Amino acid sequence: MSAAPLLRVDGLDVGFGGTPVVQDVSLYIGRGECLALVGESGSGKSVTARALLGLAGRGSRVAVRTLDFDGTNLSGAGQRAWRRLRGSRIGLVLQDALVSLDPLRTVGREIDDALRLHTALSPAERAAKVAGLLESMGLAAADAGRRAGELSGGMRQRALIAAAMALDPDLLIADEPTTALDAEAQAQVLDLLAGLRAGGSSLLLISHDLAVVSAVADRVAIMRGGRILEQGPTDQVLTSPEHEYTRMLLRAVPAGRPRGTRLSAPTGRSDARPHAPDAKLLDSSPSIGGPVLEARNLVRAFPVPGGGILHAADDVSLRVEAGRTLGLVGASGSGKSTTARILLGLDVPASGTVKLFGEPWVPLPEASRRPRRTRLGAIYQDPLSSFDPRRRVGAILADALAAATTGGAPEGAHDPAGLLQLVGLEPALAGRHPSTLSGGQRQRVAIARALAPGPRVLICDEPVSALDVSVQAQILDLLDDLQARLGLGYLFISHDLAVVRHVSDRLAVMRDGRIVESGPTEQVFAEPRHEYTRALLAASPTLATDTSD
């Protein structure tokens, strides 16, 4: 490692149409070093990274006092100079390879791009190099002829990294490289990035995931509102943060936080605080711990394009109890969502039954199910797509209340305003359109809508996967409060082990359509019996910090 850093940025400002997005950002990255840029959506971390490639975007105004890459001053560099650097000396890996690789081109051609643009190799030599790159990333040479959509999430992310690493750039900028991946694929990609650094490349890692950052980065810079709040060695920033915002971020991480502890700071709104269980509501429902939703031996399979069968549910049995949370964890494609659809009566299993409050639920004609539908609610990862964009929040909630035939809304929440207060939102939000709300507000509205008919069971399918860690903390706390107050039974589906561990009383681990292990959450984590559970636990990065304050 030489004394001069590979990249030095001083006083970077980026604005779009007069609005500053990045302000006075200064950072440096040494040779072979990994700097992590941590922040939530809208903090300006991605724009910062793109500005380092001269790709801040259309309509951007970039100003910088110093932008020095390996002794070359890049402030005011022309497009030609930038193009010589991109792909050959600085590589970029984006979040979701499904859209970051051209869906109409083969991954081989995408990887070949950098070779074609920056070297004088013949097509045959380039093809050999592409095959070698794919193999070094743990893919098959034959995968060069396939397109991103034909590869699994982890495979295509590695192909995307292969495209960025084709010419061994000195600096790799990785923008949320593991966010779209499940724990196993994430571990593979993190291993790969560690290997690249061992080979001497520098890494700028952009992430909101502090556990990932702590596993990979040498130094951390915390960003918020376009500014860097603090930066320093990873251990120092994560164990003794100087800034209140950093402390809040660390507190919001669910990893290692036992069930029932609060992740978010009090919001000061009384409605979101824990209540004593509502006696009147609990009277009419099974007591805490009683079975409310029971699935037995569910089987469901789908034909796979090109032949073969995908066993999405293979003898799945599970039980959701009143006032308790059953966590369902597994990799992408393990059948979690298919199971949820069967439980909701949206898909018909080939065999097996579901009982709701001890009465038959699946299989059953929809007409005999409809009166009892109000007892079962669902929330999903992306609430925005489930709202009619032309309707206001108040109208959306009024519709949901009108649809309630039996049971009825929770106490004090018989109108949209009451529902909004129940989920910790201002009643004034009723006049807004969903698209104008923040991600956290949208998920709260989705929860309010799910609660309107007065359900006793909520199926939560990846409800916090698209949220920033601090917002995730607030939603997890809200779900906890609602459960305590209304005695709800939750089926909580997630690929994130830390989240599932924090919210669940019992845990079921799913793989290839089978439940390989289930039991009390802490027991499963402490003494995993199935080898897949052990692999899953090992693959999940943890953040071991003392956040008691």
Partner 1 sequence: MADTALLGSSGGGFPRPGGTAVVPRAGRWRGAGFWLVRRIGSAVFVLWAVATLIFLAIRLIPGDPAEAIMGGPGSQASAAALEAARAEYGLDEPLWVQYLSQLGRLATGDLGTSYALKVPVVQLLADQLPGTLGLAVGAWVLAWILALGLALWSGLGGRGAAVVGSALEIAAASVPHFWLGSVLVLLFSTAWGWLPPVSNGSAAGLVMPVVTLALPLAGFLGQVMRESMLTAMNSPFALSAHARGESESGVVLRHALRHAALPGVALSGWALGSLVSGAVVVESIFARPGLGRSLLQAVTLRDVPLVTGVALVSALAYVVVMAVSELAERAIDPRTRDR
Q: What is the smallest separation between the CB atom of 110 and partner 1, expressed in angstroms?
A: 8
- If the CB atoms of residues 292 and 539 are measured against partner 1, the closer one turns out to be 539
Q: How many CA atoms lie within 13 A of 253 on its CB side?
A: 23
The total number of residues written for the chain in this structure: 549
Rounded least distance, CB 278 to partner 1, Å:
33
Q: Do 372 and 356 form a contact (C-beta atoms < 8 A)?
A: yes
**Within 10 A of 137 (CB to CB), how many other CB atoms are there?**
22
Q: Which is nearer to partner 1, 98 or 127 (CB)?
A: 98
Measured from the CB atom, is 100 or 421 closer to partner 1? 100
CB of 62 to partner 1, least distance (A): 15
CB of 79 to partner 1, least distance (A): 8
Q: Which is nearer to partner 1, 163 or 448 (CB)?
A: 163
Which single residue is written with the structure tokens 């100079």?
81
Find all residues with CB under 8 Å of 284, minimum gap 6, and list them. Answer: none
Shortest distance, position 27 Cβ to partner 1, whole Å = 19
CA distances from 260 to 25, 305, 324, 373 (A): 38, 44, 12, 29
CB 536 within 8 A of CB 358: no
Query: Rounded to an integer, what distance in angstroms lies between the CA atom of residue 8 and that of residue 298?
Result: 57
Question: What is the rounded distance in angstroms from the CA atom of residue 41 to the CA atom of residue 440?
Answer: 12
Q: In what order do the strands lie in the sheet with 359-362?
A: 309-321, 291-303, 351-356, 359-362
User: What is the smallest separation between the CB atom of 411 and partner 1, expressed in angstroms?
Assistant: 33
Task: Supply the minimum distance, in Å, between the C-beta of residue 461 and partner 1.
Answer: 7
- The residues, any chain, with a CB within 8 Å of residue 164's CB and separated by 6 or more, are 87, 91, 92, 93, 114, 172
> Burial, 280: exposed, middle or buried (Cβ in 10 Å; 0-12, 13-18, 19+)?
exposed
Residues that bind partner 1 (CB under 8 A): 50, 53, 55, 58, 79, 83-88, 90-92, 94-96, 98-105, 110, 113-114, 117-118, 140, 142-143, 146-147, 149-153, 155-156, 160, 163-164, 166, 180, 302-308, 310, 312, 332-333, 335-338, 341, 347, 381, 461-462, 512
Give the span between the Cα atoms of 268 and 481, in whole angstroms. Answer: 14
Query: Which residue lies nearer to partner 1 by CB, 295 or 401?
Result: 295
Phi, psi of 96 (to 5 degrees): -110, 105
Between CA 409 and CA 466, with CA 347 as vertex, the angle to 5 degrees is 65
Give 35 or 164: the residue with its C-beta nearer to partner 1: 164
| Residue whose CB is less far from partner 1, 352 or 424 | 352
Which residue's CB is nearer to partner 1, number 88 or number 470?
Answer: 88
Cβ proximity to partner 1: between 241 and 327 the closer is 327
State residue 515 phi and psi, 5-degree precision: -90, 110
Nearer to partner 1, 295 or 312 (CB): 312
CA distance 403 to 388: 16
Q: How far is the CB of 161 from partner 1 (least distance, A)?
A: 11
Q: Which is nearer to partner 1, 40 or 110 (CB)?
A: 110
Instruction: Tell me the closest approach of the beta carbon of residue 84 to partner 1, in angstroms.
Output: 7
Q: Report the alpha-carbon distance of residue 168 to residue 52 in Å, rounded.
A: 18
Alpha carbons 192 and 197: distance in angstroms, whole number: 9
Q: Taking the complex as a whole, how short is the minimal distance between the CB of residue 293 and partner 1, in angstroms?
A: 19
C-alpha to C-alpha distance for 42 and 120, rounded to whole angstroms:
41
What single string gives the DSSP state of each residue in 230-243?
EEEEHHHHHHS-SS
Bridge partners of residue 457, in order along the sequence: 376, 489
**Between 257 and 341, CB nearer to partner 1:** 341
Closest to partner 1 by CB, 229 vs 516, is 516
Nearest approach in angstroms of CB 234 to partner 1 is: 26
Q: Which two tokens stand for residue 168?
A: 């061994």
Q: Which residue is associated with the tokens 């990045």?
A: 22
Tokens of 462: 């990846």
How near is the Cβ of 191 to partner 1 at its closest, in Å? 19
The residues near 161 (Cβ < 8 Å, ≥ 6 apart) are 93, 137, 174, 177, 189, 192, 193
Report the nearest approach of partner 1 to the CB of residue 148 (Å): 8
Instruction: Count Cβ atoms within 10 A of the Cβ of residue 522 and give its class: 0-12 exposed, 13-18 middle, 19 or more buried.
Output: middle
Taking the least distance from each CB to partner 1, the nearer of 49 and 425 is 49
Q: How far is the CB of 179 from partner 1 (least distance, A)?
A: 11
